[in-house]
Amino acid sequence: MRKKSHNIINNDFKIIAVDDEQGILDSLNVFLTRSGYTFVGLTDPLEAIERLRNEHFDLMLLDFLMVPIHGDQVVEEIRKFNKDLYILLLTGHKDLAPPLETIKRLDIQGYCEKSDKFDQLLLLIESGLKAISQMRLIANINKELQSTYEQLENSYLETIEILRNTVEAKDFYTKGHSDRVSAYSVLIGEKLGLSEDELKQLKIGALFHDIGKIGIPDYILMKSEKLNDDEYSEIKNHPSIGAHILSNASIFSDIIPIIKHHHERYDGNGYPSKLRGTEIPLLVRITTVADAFDAMTSKRSYRNELSIDFVKKELVNGKGSQFDPEIVDVFLDILNNNYEKINQIHSN
């Protein structure tokens, strides 16, 4: 059996599962209560909707194919009165899951195939509860913020430092990487003539573009060899997790698009929302180029840093597919004419 996470006090969280097969609920009850969670299982989706209307739960495990209504219809009703519930959809087979568009529209955080083994499901639950835990922390911080601008500004900066320390403690690589991505992004923003407010959003958003890694299991972040398909799918959740973590704090509303969409591609083949072209906000398109540049010019456990000439060619090759062509041209101009600034950032 998996060891219980030491980062989360399990009995602080309430999980509700809805499945029309009592046997599955019984198995989940044994597995989750043994893991330390407070658990409620229901076979009637209509009863579950009313239960959620009148009682707080942190996370929901929801079967998709049920009677009298399917799981997506259940979520449709729940989202009318509860926007914060973390929902994981369970399917008998991945081909039976609802369309991706439906999952996005209803803000379903993930789905998992049913199995006799619950290890994968427990990983998803732990990741979800880590995100919920951070949301609680941020919500409490947000309540303590004072009404005056000076107090708000000070609290904002303090909150940023708290989050920075949290991410860096979990993923050491994020420290230098995020600092450099932020600095490169600001250079591009300045070259584009962005306003002071936009530059500030860009700086902070780029610093926290990987905040969602808080919700990714440590063994994946620390793995030195190539990730398998399941692990890669898991790490692809970090933009959505990051956006979810910050969503309860109004002070972060301006930077959430950078957090959520920094892995979108200009050709629409990115994630999580498959935004295309100028559908991707400008500050995000800037961060994406800076992020890719630092990834290529940084040493990894599996390779040395790539040469600047090779990286320039990769940026050019990615114009119109991965990157906004205009942003690439601006950054290449900086590389060609102000490389000392880039080199100084890279050396820090």
C-alpha span between 72 and 49 (Å, rounded): 12
**Non-local CB neighbours of 87 within 8 Å, separated by 6+ positions:** 59, 60, 62, 75, 78, 106, 107, 108, 109
- Return the closest-CA partner of residue 284 out of 255, 315, 317, 326: 255
Residue 114, phi then psi, degrees to nearest 5: -70, 145
C-alpha span between 133 and 139 (Å, rounded): 10
Active-site residue, 175 included: no
DSSP H/E element including 244 = helix 238-246
Q: Are 75 and 103 in contact (CB under 8 A)?
A: no
C-alpha span between 43 and 48 (Å, rounded): 8
Options 104, 213, 236, 319, the catalytic residue: 213
Residue type, 170: K
Tracing tokens 């500030």 back to the chain, one arrives at 200
Burial 128-142 (b: 16+ CB within 10 A, else e): bbbbbbbbebbeebb
Phi-psi region of 331 (alpha: psi -120 to 50; beta: other; left: phi over 0): alpha
**3-state DSSP percent of the chain in helix, strand and coil, to 5:** 60, 10, 30
C-alpha span between 212 and 44 (Å, rounded): 33
**Non-local CB neighbours of 162 within 8 Å, separated by 6+ positions:** 141
Q: Are 308 and 335 in contact (CB under 8 A)?
A: yes
Active-site amino acid positions: 213
